[in-house]
Amino acid sequence: MERAARSAQDLAIRANTGIVVAVDGRTVILTAADLIKVREKETPPH
């Protein structure tokens, strides 16, 4: 499931679109820019 979510995020970033997710029961649209910001926070600096 996590691999599928990551793949959907990759595609959304490449296509400069967003994805729709549920957060605490609410529907939220994450744009490509939002996804990039989340990834930057996940990846520790080298």
5-45 residue pLDDT tens: 999 999 999 999 999 999 999 999 999 999 999 999 987 77
Nearest to 31 by CA among 10, 15, 17, 42: 17
Residues 29, 18 contacting (CB under 8 angstroms): yes
Q: Output the pTM of the full model.
A: 0.78
Task: Give the per-residue pLDDT at 44.
Answer: 77
pLDDT of residue 15: 98
pLDDT at 43: 79
- pLDDT at site 8: 95
pLDDT at 20: 96
